[in-house]
A and B are shown apart, each in its own frame.
Chain A
């Protein structure tokens, strides 16, 4: 099955990105394909490669790890502009793109799960 994921909250403020990560890992373990992970509103801040939490899980690293597996992880480009997140701040396996990517994930996915506040 193909599953799409949307994340609407940023790093550390809310559990959304953690829940999304653990869900995605479990879905992969059950043999599913993640059609894509779209980072929306404050969710785009999770794409920031300069996130370096002292002694804690790195939520950017977690998403980037999923991206490195070949899962498209896309940060909403308009939301990124609103938040001053520039292209060269985005980690290697995450890209910025428009709502078209969200539409693409929804179209490709058999199921779609949003994590937010």
Chain B
């Protein structure tokens, strides 16, 4: 199951909620406003570190670039829409919108 997160972690509980439900090893995709969770130095970094300890975490490049996000938490894997599709090939999808 691929958990898809499209909200900022600083204002919304979507990421925290998904992390409660997602089983260890299930991947997390940050897209749209969800990519703000990948920012290093933000208050939400601890949440993302917790995510990285148990899950592969991906962030969509087009959404990172659009928002000017370059300082990312190490371990977050930046992927294009091509990589997004590849994840969907491998997993059923849980859009945690």
Instruction: List residues of chain A with CB under 8 Å of any chain B CB.
Output: 1, 3, 15-16, 19, 22-23, 25-27, 29-30, 32, 111-117
Contact = CB atoms under 8 A, between A and B. Distances in A.
A1 B85 CA distance: 11
A111 B31 contact: no
Contacts, number: 47
State the main secondary structure of chain A at its contact with B. Answer: mixed
27 contacts: A3-B88, A15-B33, A16-B32, A19-B31, A19-B32, A22-B62, A23-B81, A23-B84, A23-B85, A26-B80, A26-B81, A26-B82, A27-B85, A27-B88, A29-B82, A30-B86, A30-B89, A32-B85, A111-B88, A111-B89, A111-B92, A111-B93, A112-B93, A114-B93, A114-B95, A115-B95, A115-B97
Nearest to A115: B95
Interface residues of B, number: 18
A22 to B, nearest CB: 5
B81 A116 contact: no
Contacts of B82: 26, 29-30
**Residue of B31, B80, B88 with most partner-chain A CB within 10 A:** B88
A29 B89 CA distance: 13
Contacts of A117: 97
B68 to A, nearest CB: 16
A111 B85 CA distance: 10
B85 A26 contact: yes
Contacts of B88: 3, 27, 111, 113
Nearest to B33: A15
